[in-house]
Amino acid sequence: MNIKWHTTLLVLASALVCGTATAQDNTDYSQSSTWRWEMANDVFFDSDNQFSNGFAIQKHGPAASSLDAVGGTAAIGKGLAKFFLPKGDGLTYRESWSFGQNLQTPGDIEHPDIILNDLPYVGMLAWSNSFVAFDDQRMSAFGWMLGVVGESAFGEEVQENVHDWIGADEPLGWEHQLDDEPILSLFYTKKKKLWRKPSFDGALAFNTAASNFVSYGELALEMRFGRMPQGFAYIPDPIGRGLHFNATIPDKDQTAMYGTFVVRATGFVVDMFREGNTFVDDNPWTENNVLDPNDVIGQLVVGFHYERPKWALRFNFWFTSDTVDPDLLPADEDPENRGGTITYEWRFD
């Protein structure tokens, strides 16, 4: 059995165990800290091109009534966050940290030579902090990220060892990955509810990032359907692509079960995954590739969320428009970038 499905089954089994153990738990976890584990992969679509695999471990502190009062995590940057987050009665504040890795490969990983008409091998390793202020009608979030792209991100070692373990094809082209380059990113998000009904809400979101890794402006319409908590949907972007935050307040003794449907359009200025190194000169793929990345990419994200007072399990699947000009890719390569994410959360006092 493929390790990716081993992981999926392990998460599901853990959720069932936790659900059984907490069925009679009357503790109010609405003000608790949250651990979140996230695994993203394109195996859900029987694919192994563009974004290949990623993980993130996150901790989200307990809710607080002001930015000065947030705590519970190893977050740095509260002083800078004060310039981006609003103040006001009734707002809830949280801080968070995330650590994770993302991998990208071209479609033909058995080809040992550099492939200039497909996306490059990329490994990225990063740490990020975020701060959020929200109620049930509005949300603002700010965050920063420090990381590295290249050999120091250990993408080659991770993929080669995993493929050897599961007996999959050996990736032979990692010597052509992007060169080492440090990453510094700033993120800002603003959301506003357009509709709020007992079983449906919809929010308009604006997201932006400034970085040598990825820089963009993005508009999104985010909708939730079903029995849902107060606050806003979390869209599980791979670390580096967007903010990781927790902008919900779970209701005591209430099980939430809802779907999310998100449509967004992103205009890119910088994207290392499709353009190569930003500040490092003489990387062979960056200097010689023949791809033509699209500046604007559309994305659809469909999710299912099941939340108990102490734990939550989330599934999200994303679909994109063409990320590069398909006429310049190999004939059997998919110009779209599809994948899925499994997220497991555990709340504690």
Q: Which residue, among 212, 75, 191, has the nearest Cα to 135 in the 3D structure? A: 191
Q: What ranges make up the beta strands (E) of 9-137?
A: 33-41, 50-60, 92-105, 122-134
Tokens of 204: 């308009």
Distance CA 11, CA 23 (A): 18
Check pLDDT > 80 for residue 54: yes
3-state secondary structure 295-313: CEEEEEEEEEEEECCCEEE
Side-chain half-sphere of 268: how many Cα atoms within 13 Å? 20
Q: Structure tokens of 14?
A: 């853990």
Architecture per CATH, domain 3-348, reads as Beta Barrel (2.40)
d(CA 252, CA 315): 23
Determine if the pTM surpasses 0.85: yes
Q: How far apart are CA 44 and CA 339, in angstroms?
A: 6
The pLDDT value given to residue 46: 66
For 78-102, the pLDDT digits (tens) are 999 999 999 987 999 999 999 999 9
Count CB-CB contacts under 10 A for residue 215.
17
349 confidence band (pLDDT: 50, 70, 90):
low
Distance between alpha carbon 167 and the CA centroid of its chain, in Å? Answer: 28
* Bridge partners for 27 per DSSP: none
3-class secondary-structure state, position 13: helix
Rounded CA-CA distance 179/16 in Å is 43
Residue position matching structure tokens 């670390």: 239
**pLDDT range class, residue 8, cuts 50, 70, 90:** very low
Give the residue extent of every domain in the chain.
3-348
Helix 3-21 and helix 155-166, axial crossing angle in degrees, nearest 10: 90
Q: Which residues of 26-44 are buried (b: 16+ CB within 10 A; e: fewer)?
A: eeebbebbbebebbbbbbb
Q: How many CA atoms lie within 13 A of 330 on its CB side?
A: 13
Banded model confidence at residue 254, pLDDT cuts 50, 70, 90: confident
pLDDT over 90 at 131, yes or no: yes
Between these two residues, 186 and 335, which has the higher pLDDT value?
Answer: 186
Residue scoring higher pLDDT (131 or 163): 131
Mean pLDDT for 305-317 is: 93
Q: State the Cα angle at 298 between 327 and 81, rounded to 5°.
A: 130
- CA terminus-to-terminus distance, the chain: 37
CB 280 within 8 Å of CB 315: no
- Looking at the chain, the whole-number percentage of residues with pLDDT higher than 90 is 72
Q: Given a cut of 80, is residue 253 above it in pLDDT?
A: no
Angle CA(54)–CA(60)–CA(63) in degrees, nearest 5?
Answer: 155
Q: pLDDT averaged over the chain?
A: 89
Per-residue pLDDT at 48: 65
